[in-house]
Each structure stands twice: as C-alpha cells, then as structure tokens.
Amino acid sequence: MKRIKLLSLSLLALLGSCAESDNAIDELFENTERGAVLRTISVNNPDFSISDPSSVFSVTLEEQDAKEGDLLQSVDVYVSFSDETPGRPDDTDYSKEEVLLTTIPADVWEDGPIGLPRYTFETTFGDVLTALNIGDNDFAGADIFNIRFALNLTDGRTFTSTDGNGNIFSGSFFRSPFLYRAPIVCPPAAPTPGTWNMEFQDSYGDGWNGASLEVVIDGTTTSYTMDDGAAASFTFDVPDGAQEINFIFRSGDWDSEITFQVTSASGFQVMSIGPSPTPDTPLAIDYCNI
C-alpha cells in the first residue's frame, strides 16, 4: 500500500508541475504518429497440399487505422519461396525472391462486426507456383511459401512486417504479423519401416508427471513416458508393411512443461509438439517426411 500511495503522490506532483507549462503527455500524443494494422481474425487454411494445385491458403483480416478504416487504400500481397529441403528433389536451391502476387483494393473490403473493414484473402497452390515461376519438379513437402501483406493508406504511408513490434505482431489483441508461412504438406502415407527416434523434454526437470505418449501402429499401441528428469530418448521399430502410424498424447499434471520430437526412420523430423500438447486425439504428422 505504501508504494501505491507514494506513486500516486509522485504522479500528482508531476501533473501539477506541468499545469503552468506545456503538458508533456499532451505534447507526446500530439507528436505521435499513429499507424495501422491488419489484425488476424482467423487463418482458415494454413498450407498447400503437394498433390493439389487448387488447394487454398486462406486468412481473414481486419484493417484498423487512426480513422477506423477510412484511411484504407489497398493491400499489396507478396509471395516468396523458401527451399527448406536440401537434397529434395535434388541439391539445387529452388528458393525464389519475393514478387507481387496481387493487390486488394479498398472497395472489396466489407464492414465487420465492429465496423472495421474485413477481407478473406485466398490464393491457390497453382497461383503461387505460377507467380514465382516454379516448375512441377522444383519443390518438395515441407518447403514454405512466405506470404507478406503491405497495407497502403490514403495519406501515402505503408505498413508491413518490418514495422511495429512483438505486441503488434503476435499480441493477443492486434495479432498483426503481416507475414504468414504457408508450408507444402503431404497426404497421409504409410510410415517408413525401420527404427524411429523420440526425444522427450520437461522444462521443470521432474519428468512428465503422469503424462504419456502413445505410439499406435496399425492398431497396436505402445505407451512411453518420462518418470523423472529433464530429457529422455526412446526408439521403436516400424515393421515392413505397416500401413498407418498415429501418436496420441495422454495428459498429466503439468502438461505446460512438456515438449517432444519424433524422427522417422528416413532421418527426418515428422513431429515437434508442445508445450501443452493437445490430448486424446491423433497429433499432426509431417507426412512429407514420414
């Protein structure tokens, strides 16, 4: 309580000292340039299917500026390509520099529930391949398209991923990264036969506190856990002819401390999960590397 009272008195003294001169707070706001954001309302589909040129990346955005949307002129959409899979399909680096994909004019945005402009942007796998002049054999699963938005205002200013800070880009309210990573994913496939590896971690260092990871191969379940410590490694074998593999996390007392990774017999990481893994349902697998 003493600290609060002292702070209050200090604040009153500060305000009083400004009464007969320029108010520092008013001067600050008068000389502060207000920016603009593209808030992420939802990522409706985050990736492209490697076997489907019509598969769609989709995100719904909401624009906000100092005039509650009236400064919106247009949004430019850029795309680049990151070859994240050395040696697949070959040793060539197929990465591509950024190009303009399209421009979204202000008149196609619609008023959202709170009166701000909203728009659902969609682009297909085929669209981005064509824009970047990427051939059918120049990409592999787990490669990534970087989709960047640049917000143009009627006063001549532009805002994009190089503007702002962590609170703007990833804070719970603004969620305005301006940049999205859309990976190429693969449909479910049979697991590579051989020895697989799992790495378990616990950030507190006291084991998984009753949690476990189930490996289900063609309906046969084996459970793994870490009774104590900060890290542990496990291996298991996938037999020849196996058709399906799933991983199911079972919750314990402190799931927020838990992370784990799975590497297939092909030598590629197919899963990196946590903290707080989703329990009781098959976890997402990178089938491109399975």
Successive 10-residue mean pLDDT values, the chain, 290 residues = 37 42 41 75 93 96 94 98 88 96 98 96 98 95 94 95 55 63 91 97 96 98 97 98 96 94 93 90 87
Which pLDDT belongs to residue 172? 39
Instruction: Look at domain 194-289 and name its CATH class.
Output: mainly beta
Ranges of each domain in the chain: 37-185, 194-289
Cβ-contact 217, 243 below 8 angstroms: no
Contact 203, 196 (CB under 8 A): no
Q: What pLDDT is stored for residue 164 in this prediction? A: 54
Side-chain half-sphere CA neighbours of 86 within 13 A = 0
pLDDT of residue 2: 34
Does CATH place domain 37-185 in 2.60.40.1940? yes
Contact yes or no for 39/109 (Cβ under 8 A): no
**Per-residue pLDDT, 176:** 57
